[in-house]
């Protein structure tokens, strides 16, 4: 198991800068952000331009990683593949395909995205649509020797009432994903706040998890007594502020990393564990973000076998 991080937390830095810094801090892998230029959306970045990726880019990126002894674990483009606007949906689906093509050229084993959701349709209706949407994506991935991995983020901020906006949040939905050729980019933090034990949840599915993310979560049950499970409604100016929990870097929340990593080793996981930094305490400035990544490294590195 190697320790890496998702580069989206450093959107203003070049890939060259991030690779150099990651190596100096003892990281072994990077999950590279590959969103198209989308403006100022939080937790997104463009460290690899999949839409214009060519042979010269392949050589540059492979040489960069090889010279620093790092692994390129995944290309990351997490967006709503079931977007209700058909034009936006088509654009998103097409960019996933471009990421798969770039990953194939690089020899990168995975591309990460979301299933997403059309909030005007029921879950069952969305799943039927998703089977059609993802068929060409899964087929292209198979042709390129790449696995499409879906993060189990709830994406409650995408739904107008805070309901799940990404239909990949539970083991029941993972089994559906696996049946259509998708894999899981496992993140324990999302399971904690919806009441699922991530250790027990991960055990049966490790053979379908080629990549995992490391994010922690801090829960405030006393606040849940005011807002309920679904979080703020009347007072929710920020769609991502549910009021009774927040994401943290590993070691500053309530995920039992010792128990979780032990279960992953026991189940045979030997992929990359990639820190996804969305901690509001250690965010806001580049220096704080880097400190958060160092905290995550100090927490997780002692638990991984060299």
Q: Is the pLDDT score of 193 beyond 90?
A: yes
Which of 9-23, 30-44, 81-95, 105-119 bottoms out in mean pLDDT, i.e. has the lowest? Answer: 30-44
What mean pLDDT comes out for the span 234-243? Answer: 89
What mean pLDDT comes out for the span 262-291? Answer: 97
For residue 236, what pLDDT is reported? Answer: 85
| SS3 state of residue 260 | helix
Q: Is the pLDDT score of 38 beyond 80?
A: no
Name the band, by pLDDT with cuts 50, 70 and 90, for residue 211.
very high
Q: Is the pLDDT score of 41 beyond 90?
A: no
Q: Is the pLDDT score of 40 beyond 80?
A: no
If we measure between CA atoms, which residue out of 34, 55, 185 comes closest to residue 115? 185
Q: Which secondary structure element, helix H or strand E, spans residue 120, and what is its range? A: none
Q: Which residues contact 286 (CB under 8 A, 6 or more apart)?
A: 10, 12, 13
Task: Tell me if 132 sits within 8 A of 93, measured CB to CB.
Answer: no
Q: Is the pLDDT score of 237 beyond 90?
A: no
What mean pLDDT comes out for the span 58-84? Answer: 98
Average pLDDT, the chain: 96
Q: Is the pLDDT score of 138 beyond 70?
A: yes
Q: Which residues contact 79 (CB under 8 A, 6 or more apart)?
A: 35, 92, 95, 96, 113, 114, 116
Superfamily holding 2-303: Divalent-metal-dependent TIM barrel enzymes (3.20.20.150)
Q: Is the pLDDT score of 43 beyond 90?
A: no
């Amino acid at each position: 198991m190697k320790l890496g991080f998702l580069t989206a937390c450093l959107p203003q830095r070049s890939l060259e800068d991030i690779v150099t810094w990651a190596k100096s801090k003892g990281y072994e892998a990077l999950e590279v952000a590959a969103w198209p230029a989308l403006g100022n959306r939080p937790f997104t970045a463009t460290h690899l331009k999949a839409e214009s990726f060519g042979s010269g880019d392949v050589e540059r990126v492979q040489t960069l990683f090889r010279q620093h002894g790092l692994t390129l674990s995944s290309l990351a483009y997490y967006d709503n593949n079931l977007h209700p606007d058909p034009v936006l949906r088509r654009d998103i689906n097409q960019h996933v395909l471009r990421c798969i093509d770039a990953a194939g050229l690089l020899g990168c084993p995975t591309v990460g995205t979301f299933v997403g959701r059309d909030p005007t349709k029921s879950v069952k209706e969305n799943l039927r649509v998703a089977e059609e949407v993802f068929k060409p994506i899964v087929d292209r991935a198979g042709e390129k020797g790449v696995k499409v991995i879906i993060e189990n983020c709830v994406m409650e901020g995408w739904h107008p009432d805070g309901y799940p906006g990404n239909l990949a949040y539970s083991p029941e939905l993972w089994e559906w994903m696996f049946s259509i050729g998708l894999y899981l980019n496992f993140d324990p933090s999302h399971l904690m706040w919806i009441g699922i034990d991530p250790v027990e949840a991960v055990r049966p599915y490790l053979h379908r998890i080629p990549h995992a993310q490391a994010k922690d979560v801090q829960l405030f049950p006393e606040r849940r007594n005011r807002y309920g499970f679904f979080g703020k409604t009347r007072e929710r100016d920020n769609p991502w502020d549910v009021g009774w929990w927040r994401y943290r870097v590993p070691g500053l929340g309530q995920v039992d990393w010792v128990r979780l990593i032990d279960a992953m080793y026991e189940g045979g996981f030997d992929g990359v564990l990639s820190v996804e930094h969305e901690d509001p305490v250690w965010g806001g400035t580049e220096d704080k973000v880097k400190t958060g990544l160092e905290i995550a490294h100090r927490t997780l590195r002692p638990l991984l076998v060299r």
